[in-house]
Structure formats: structure tokens, C-alpha cells
Structure 1
Amino acid sequence: MHSTFRKFAASLSLVAGTTLALPALAAPQTYVVDGSHTFPRFSYSHFGLSTQMSRFNTTTGTVVLDQEARTGSVDIEIDMRSVDTGFATFNEHIQGEDFFHTAQYPTATFKSTRVVFEGDKPVAVDGELTIKGVTRPVTLNLSSFTAMQHPMVPKQAIGANASVTVKRSDFNAGKYAPHVSDEVTIDIALEAIAQ
């Protein structure tokens, strides 16, 4: 009887020791968008003469990643009034009712529904893009992703480049199409720092 009890107690001790020795599961990490290094750009054909490129100067949001669990989420807000075409008059024009209508819709948002991983790296993000009050499903394809210790700040950081092509007309902003292309490519350079 005592021998059986001692074996049972030894087994419990072994199980407890093994459990304590297991590494803790990595928790999801929240990263805050670095607005000084995050710029959505958009490009389109202008009458077939050239590809015009502009950007938005103010972007905020968060990225949550758990690379071990291969899960994540992205929540981004773009200040559409920060549009920078390189020409002040056109900055005002593109914010009018025919295009961004920033008086009524000052922000655009992207909220993820799924982050697609290959190994421990995200390669695409499915989500909902809202521009001018219209929400459409889109997939951002990542051409690069890096996670590392930030060289200037004692925190972890992530960086990525992503792109998607949308139609202006899908967001009630299709004036002058097809002469000015309906298709617009959005490229996003993003950096974010751990909270």
C-alpha cells in the first residue's frame, strides 16, 4: 500500500515538474502604427499619359500578431484630409464630393477579417476597406514582412509593404473614368512598434 502510494506521488511529482518546465505560450503582441514611417500611396493612369502617384500623410492604428499561433488583426485609419498630390490646388479638388468628399467622410478605414500566414510570416491580410462611407472586401498582399528589435527604440517592431488594386467607382468616386483610370493601386509602407 505504501509502495503504491509512493509510486503515485512520484508520478504526480514528475507530471508537475514536466508541466512547469514547458515553455509559456507566446501571447499576442500589439503594435502601434508609427505615423512617421507609415504612408498609404495610390497610383492611377492619367489619360494614358502617365501614372500619377500620391499619398496620405496621416495614418494611425494597431496591428496585433501572434506569430507562433499564426493569428493576427489589423485596424488602420487614414485621414483623407492629409492627401498629398504634390499640388495644393489638386489636394483641395480631390477632397470634393466627386472624389473623397472629406467634409462628410474625413477618414478611411481598413479592418482585417483574417491574416494569412506562410510559416511564421504573414503574406496577406483579408479585410474590409471603407472609403467615402462604402465598405468593400479586399485582400492586401504583402511583398515583405519583418519583425525585429527596433534599432533606435528598445522595443520590438514590425514592418511591411502591402498592395491592393481597387476600383474608384466601387466607392462612389469614379468621375472621369475611364479616361482617368477607374482602377487605383494602393501601396502601403507600414512600420509599427510594440506597446
Structure 2
Amino acid sequence: MKSKLFIALMATVGLAVTAFATPATYTADANHTFAQFEYNHLGFSNQTSRFNTVTGTVTIDQAAKKGSADITIDTKSVDTGSSLFNSHIQSEDFLSTTQFPTATFQSNDMIFKGDKPVALKGTLTLKGVSKPVTLNITNFECKKHPMSGVDYCGANAVTKVKRTDFNMGKYAPNVGDDVNILIAIEAARKE
């Protein structure tokens, strides 16, 4: 009886490990996926804002240590905390959201250290300009969601870009050219 129980237990553990060991695609959870950006304002403070609507997928093959990401940011969902400033950021001086309603990040180059991804090398397209960018992953976890029981992966990633590289240099250098981008993503495995 003990050997049957042990075999059943090992089979269950094997299924759980297999769930994260084969290539799997995860869809961003709209309620827990955001992109923030931070820049220095006139030397007074570092201002932080975010985009409220971020969609996309991440594919991870932990066994092969490969992965990809395809993320879309709705630039009209920018949230500075001020409706007046939201309009200013959406103007042609900055995001030009009428002409460029989305920004994208696409990567086919996930870098692993051991069993966990540590970076994504890809292309950021913002205001119609595409530039290579590396997102450094500062936190990564895949497991069963404790409430839904669905396989989930979550991560935080950061990078730094220059506004002037994306035709958004208005008021530089008084308003900082360097922009820190912080991504928080939680994503459910597609069946």
C-alpha cells in the first residue's frame, strides 16, 4: 500500500513539475499588469506615472531556457494623477496618442540564469520609433494561483530609455531625458 501511495504522490509531483517544464504561453492579467515610468522634473522631484491598460503574452520554455514576449501598452491609458497633465503627456510633444495609440515591446530573446529568466532583450516601439531595449527581470515566479488554481507566472522588470531617442525631447534637459520604465506583470497560462 505504501508503494502505491508513493507512486501516486510522485506522479502528482511529476505532473506539477511538467506543467512548468514544457513551453507554455501566458496571457497578461489586466488587473495585475501595469507599466510605470519615472523621470526627473526640473530637478525638483522624480515623477512617477503609469499606463492602466497593458495587454500581451509571454511564452516560457524553462526546459530549453528560452522565451518570448509580446506586450502592448495603450498610450491613451496614461495616468499621471492629473487629467490636465494626462492630456499634456498625450499631446504631440510627448506620446502623440492620436497618431500612436499604442507602444509595444517584442522579444524573442529571454536570458536565463539557472532555472529563472533574468532579462528580455527586445524592441521597444514608442511614438513610431523602434529601439533595442533590455528589460532586466528583478522578480520572477511561476506557480498555481492560490485562489483560482490556474498556472500563473509573475514578474517585475526594469529598463532605462532616453526620451530624445523616441522623438519626445520637449523641455530636455530641464525635464530629465532619462526615463525609468518599470513593468509588473501577472499572467495566466493559456489552455
Superposed counterparts of 1:12-31, under 5 Å: 26-31=21-26
Q: In the alignment, is the contact (CA less than 8 A) between 2:67 and 2:108 conserved in 1?
A: no
Listed as ranges, the gaps of 5+ residues in structure 1 are 1-23
**Matching of residue 157 in structure 1 with residue 152 in structure 2:** yes
Give the aligned partner of residue 119 of structure 2: 124
Give the aligned partner of residue 107 of structure 1: 102
Q: CA RMSD in A?
A: 1.2
State the Cα distance separating 1:27 from its structure 2 match.
2.9
Give the aligned partner of residue 45 of structure 1: 40
Larger-gyration structure (1/2):
1
**Matching of residue 68 in structure 1 with residue 63 in structure 2:** yes
SS at 1:161 equivalent = strand
Superposed CA deviations along residues 46-82 of structure 1, whole A, max 9, x for unmatched, are 0000000000000000000011110110000000000
Letter in 1 for 2:165: D
Give the aligned partner of residue 12 of structure 2: none
Number of residues paired by the alignment? 172
TM-score norm. by structure 2 comes to: 0.88
Give the aligned partner of residue 144 of structure 1: 139
Q: Distance in 1 between matches of 2:74 and 2:112?
A: 29
Q: In the alignment, is the contact (CA less than 8 A) between 2:60 and 2:67 conserved in 1?
A: yes
Letter in 2 for 1:132: K
**Matching of residue 184 in structure 1 with residue 179 in structure 2:** yes
TM-score norm. by structure 1 comes to: 0.86
State the Cα distance separating 1:119 from its structure 2 match.
1.1
Give the aligned partner of residue 6 of structure 2: none
Which contiguous aligned blocks of 4+ residues in structure 1 show a shift greater than 4 angstroms? none
Q: Distance in 2 between matches of 1:174 and 1:36?
A: 31
Q: Distance in 2 between matches of 1:44 and 1:152?
A: 36
Superposed CA deviations along residues 97-134 of structure 1, whole A, max 9, x for unmatched, are 01000000000000003000011100000000000000
